[in-house]
Amino acid sequence: MNISALPYDYALPDDLHHLALVIIDMQRDFLEPGGFGDALGNDVMRLQAIVPALQQLLAEFRSRGLLVIHTVECHQPDLSDCSESKLHRGKNDLKIGDRGPMGRILVKDEPGNGIIPQLAPLPHETVIYKPGKGAFYATPLAEILQDKGITHLLMTGVTTEVCVQTTMREANDRGYECLMVDDCTESYFPEFKQATLEMMRAQSGIVGWTAPAANVLAALHQQCVLNAAEPEFGIRSNPLNPN
């Protein structure tokens, strides 16, 4: 079954348990009024706009028992996992570790570092705490995907041109088939989002595919109907880890 996508259709795996939904950095400090993003002068309502579509996609994955991975950009309270270049870059009044409107900026377990309530992880869902922009850097994500037999990834979250794009490029280099769900990702800067979508699917999908959530949901429904009509034989295998 294929998802209608750009630059051409995205083929779902025959077994949907090889597919995972990655929800990147939907944190209160980035999305809520009074948070860090708002304090820097950004329009956080732009990011809030993707929440309904992302809720639909998340509910579909949960109803099918498919893998959901949430990520949170954060650092330890002593900032020992924050590089000097990241810590001191920029000319903002608030820097990593400083106390902002919702607690210390990008510090694990601070109020603003939590995922927004509308998308709160369930107890059994995986949460990746990442010190960098990409979700593979200094995290167990690669091992988790291998262990679960994942070959295909749907990329969502914020911001499109930073953490979402970085993670998708990391995944592409590791051999994953990646699709960015275009109305489930957002940027404070609309031109940055549009440019990123175009870069991902340029040159016949040099990094991957893009498609709206409605197309993804339609294909998932059709695939599940097909799977229900056919008995499953054999065992699941992971083409990225044949051993």
**Residues taking part in catalysis:** 25, 130, 163
Quote the tokens at residue 208: 């991957």
Contacts 24+ apart (CB under 8 A), 231-238: 232/15, 236/15, 236/17, 236/18, 236/149, 237/149, 238/18, 238/146, 238/149, 238/150, 238/151
Q: Cα–Cα distance between 225 and 222 in angstroms, integer?
A: 5
SS3 158: strand
**Residue with structure tokens 């695939």?**
223
Q: Which residues share a beta bridge with 179? A: 154, 209
C-beta separation of 193 from 47 below 8 A: no
User: From start to end of 131-188, where are the E strands?
Assistant: 152-158, 177-186
Q: Which residues share a beta bridge with 27? A: 115
